[in-house]
Structure 1
Amino acid sequence: MSATTLVNESALLALPVEIIEHILLFCHPRDVARFSTTCRFSAHIVYRSADQYFWRQLFLSLFDDPRRSVGPAQLAIADPSSYDWKAQLTRRIKAEHNALTDTVDPELESTTLETFASTLEEASSIASTSTDPPDSRNVEWLTNVLSKSDILNPLSPESSENKFRDRLNACLALPTKDRLDAETRREQRNRSRCFVYDVRNYTPDTLWGPYLPNGEVNWKHVHAIVDVVASNLRELSPEDHIARPPTGFEMTRAFSAPGDFSGRDWAGVEGKYIFVFCYFSGTDNHPRDATFFTSGFREATHLIELKLRLVPKDHMRIKFPLDDPPARVHPGYEVLYLCGSITSRGMAIGQDVTVQGYVFMGGDCIPRWRLTSVHEGRPQWCSEGVQIGNVGSAIGVASTWTAIDHGDGKPTRF
């Protein structure tokens, strides 16, 4: 170490603490951590300040303000004034380091993926009055990290059982890195088909939808739905490009979908939707493994336009049991009842087919959409849907549709 360096360091440490902190705010957190190791005084400045002002400012130099988030992130922060800026920033920087390591420690992998998922949840919302909304720092950071990492692309199907990885991949529709060859891509698509079209995954315990028996969202199921739909959309003719849903982390931000969210319609129910309906038929043998799809398999993809509007509960033509939907879980999110009309493209669905249902905020702070198709006053099909991104996100809803009697002739809910 030269004499000049010693003089410069002494001059720096002779500055008021407020000035040193201001200088450090122009540094990356990794450099701040290195500075703290130079001496006891520098460690005291970084880690032993009387309040979290420095860490809050350092956090906000890289990420969105979580106190202004909505939906799951907002509900998870019980007291915004107690947000642990230092712990959260440290957690994200460690996750970045783990993801960019050649081999991710399996014990750290789940924590890293959970950190990425929560970072996406806390991305800034898009105001409905904004014509040119600012970019989200959370989205920019996460996109940059994952573009350099293989953590969303497990080496084998056996190592892919992670709900946070599935949730992130559902938001992207396909893996971040476009490095899969045709054969690998085909195998992945068929694995998703196996899960989506296997009737064993639709039971009363899962409410006939993409849920776990404990009521939580089954993100493996949601990811499989999105993968099947996205793969099928890529095979449609060019004139159907208007039906392709927007993808990418930007489309998961709260209120990124068109609509007015300023009133009671917190979910952005009212408006026009493009519903992509995928199914197969022609066999009594339900798929159990990928070989089912190797030959003789025919899958249909139809586009349905759906117009929805909010209605009072007493306008429902279908009567729901008293416990369905559940009581409001979160004060700011009332149950929204809806009805609408269907217009099909190339699919015979009959005349006078309407949709009724409701949207509610689940106990895990994820919006649920329950719809029922009605023909000649009778319910025909019912749907369980999960908002893929945040509240009012443009990326849309992943849902499953089953017959109203689920094949046993006995309606289970109506």
Structure 2
Amino acid sequence: MSAMMLSCVFPIPSEITERALALCHPRDVASFSQTCRKAHRLVYRSPDPYLWRQLFLLFPFDDPRQMESVFLGDSHFNWRKELLRRMEAQLIACRKNSKLEDLLRAIDTFVSVVRTAAPVAMGHERVSSPNLLWVVDVLQSTNMLRSPLIASEEGNQSLARLRSYLALTLDEYDEDDDEGKERLKLIWMRSRYQVYDLRNYHQGNAWGPFTTSGEVDWTHIESIINVISLNLYDRPSLWPDARPRCGLEATRAYSAPGTTARATGDWAGVEGHWRRYVCFMDIRDLFALNYDNGGRGLQDSTYFDNLNFPDAARLIELKLTLIDAQAIPDIYTLDRFPNSPYEHYPTLYFTGSSWGMPGNEATVIGSVTMSESGVVRWRFASVSDSCIKWSSEGIQIGSIASAFGVIGTWTGVHHDRADPVGPFWLYKVEDDHPSYMRVHT
């Protein structure tokens, strides 16, 4: 910008200049700031956050002030810092030779953007989140998630978390795409090893998809999603009208059916009708994988290739109702969650009924809590013939009452060596939905 142009700009009140700059792309504002000291001071040292707030909101991104503080972690939102952080993540994703540490920093940013997407509001259920549209656009246009550097970082929790939110929605392929088919086959095999390895379930992680420190094990969550998704994908004619929603829009708070008008006190959107997919291996194959010859299947990379059938899948329907903590039956002997650290999210308790194939009716008893890290945890058990038989541990994917639902694992309540284990996907449906199992059985 020439000196003559600058001399024309700065006699204008700074408020007017800021309004004009707010209509520009952030990189153009950065270029303007480098023209002289006055421009730099106006852009970066103004005590009023107006310019950066407008640049952020008009990009556009969701207004973070709509989010609960538990998800932001800090009630004072730094508009400039966060916008520059997102612009940097986009640049990293666009580079062909980004360093691994840069790629992982970008992934952390994308996860944060998903978590701070605005909740679904009543009457605006079909309005998409700009946050999520931006993340999908960047990841689709750059193909960043298939970087060889990232692929080698299998243990990275942030990467697994982002992939869990996406749920293979960016891994679709055409019928003649042999490379895509092979990639999904490898994902399925690797995920089944993770899910059906009994060493991954013990008292230290509550027999669920958690670490021994109590944090979510996102590599395990991703494997669960992959196993169930690919099982359903492999059976297109099986329950075609009863598939769970997935992808980033399904992670938004209160995107589950009916939860924008949930009952007072039901912050997690528990009450209502649900569907639940459970998967499992034949018990003989599960034991062969884990125990025969010292668990030879766990060292044999071709083990699942040699199986001539996939793991089984079942669809279960549920109706849940909140109850008072004092009304929990004595039979519910599972460890209860401690009181929530958040005043507005007290631990909730529920009961209800579940049904699937004829003869598999049961009572469900459980609880939901908000963890200190802002992840909603579910714990419940199935009771039939006055005996508690199965226990389940899971987490809500995304934010409160997300349409994506709850991902986790189920096993025998006594956690005996001979107990099976498997993944589940629990998601909410409309209260007036037709009962799929009662109509089709």
In the superposition, the TM-score normalised over structure 2's length comes to 0.85
CA contact (8 A) 1:358 1:371 kept: yes
Give the Cα–Cα distance (whole angstroms) in 1 for the partners of residues 187 and 334 of structure 2: 42
Superimposed CA distance per residue, residues 38-80 of structure 1 (whole angstroms, 9 cap, x where no aligned partner): 1111111101112322212221212111121137424x12xx3
Q: Which residue of 2 aligns with 1:317?
A: 329
Q: Which residue of 1 aligns with 2:305?
A: 294
Question: How has the CA–CA distance of structure 1 residues 230 and 239 changed in structure 2, closer, same or farther, with 3 Å as cutoff?
Answer: closer
Q: Which residue of 2 aligns with 1:124?
A: 118
Q: Which residue of 1 aligns with 2:239?
A: 240
Within 5 A, what are the aligned runs for 1:335-350?
A: 335-344=347-356, 347=357, 350=360
Q: Which residue of 2 aligns with 1:73?
A: 71
2:285 corresponds to 1:285: no
CA contact (8 A) 2:331 2:388 kept: no
SS of structure 1 residue aligned to 2:143: coil
Give the Cα–Cα distance (whole angstroms) in 1 for the partners of residues 236 and 85 of structure 2: 45
SS of structure 2 residue aligned to 1:303: strand
- Which shows bigger deviation, 228-237 or 199-208? 228-237
Give the Cα–Cα distance (whole angstroms) in 1 for the partners of residues 146 and 93 of structure 2: 11
Question: How has the CA–CA distance of structure 1 residues 71 and 199 changed in structure 2, closer, same or farther, with 3 Å as cutoff?
Answer: farther
SS of structure 1 residue aligned to 2:382: strand
In the superposition, the TM-score normalised over structure 1's length comes to 0.91
**Structure 1 unaligned blocks of 5 or more:** none
**Structure 2 unaligned blocks of 5 or more:** 174-178, 290-296, 420-441
Q: Which residue of 2 aligns with 1:137?
A: 130
Q: Which residue of 2 aligns with 1:96?
A: 90
- Which shows bigger deviation, 40-49 or 173-182? 173-182
The letter of the residue matching 1:376 is D
CA contact (8 A) 1:71 1:365 kept: no
Q: Which residue of 1 aligns with 2:27?
A: 30
- Ranges of 4+ aligned residues in structure 1 off by more than 6 Å: none
Give the Cα–Cα distance (whole angstroms) in 2 for the partners of residues 112 and 68 of structure 1: 24
Within 5 A, what are the aligned runs for 1:233-382?
A: 233-238=232-237, 240-259=239-258, 260-261=261-262, 263-281=264-282, 282-283=284-285, 284-286=287-289, 287-288=297-298, 289-298=300-309, 299-318=311-330, 324-344=336-356, 347=357, 350=360, 352-382=361-391
Q: Which residue of 1 aligns with 2:53?
A: 56
CA contact (8 A) 1:271 1:309 kept: yes
Q: 1:150: how far off?
A: 2.7
Q: 1:31: how far off?
A: 1.1
Aligned length: 399
CA contact (8 A) 1:70 1:254 kept: no
Give the Cα–Cα distance (whole angstroms) in 2 for the partners of residues 42 and 100 of structure 1: 29
Q: Which residue of 2 aligns with 1:214?
A: 213
CA contact (8 A) 2:323 2:351 kept: yes
Question: How has the CA–CA distance of structure 1 residues 219 and 28 changed in structure 2, closer, same or farther, with 3 Å as cutoff?
Answer: same
Give the Cα–Cα distance (whole angstroms) in 2 for the partners of residues 196 and 373 of structure 1: 21
Question: How has the CA–CA distance of structure 1 residues 327 and 381 changed in structure 2, closer, same or farther, with 3 Å as cutoff?
Answer: same
The letter of the residue matching 1:277 is V
Superimposed CA distance per residue, residues 210-230 of structure 1 (whole angstroms, 9 cap, x where no aligned partner): 001111100000000001111
- Which shows bigger deviation, 208-217 or 241-250? 241-250
Give the Cα–Cα distance (whole angstroms) in 1 for the partners of residues 342 and 229 of structure 2: 32
Give the Cα–Cα distance (whole angstroms) in 2 for the partners of residues 335 and 123 of structure 1: 24
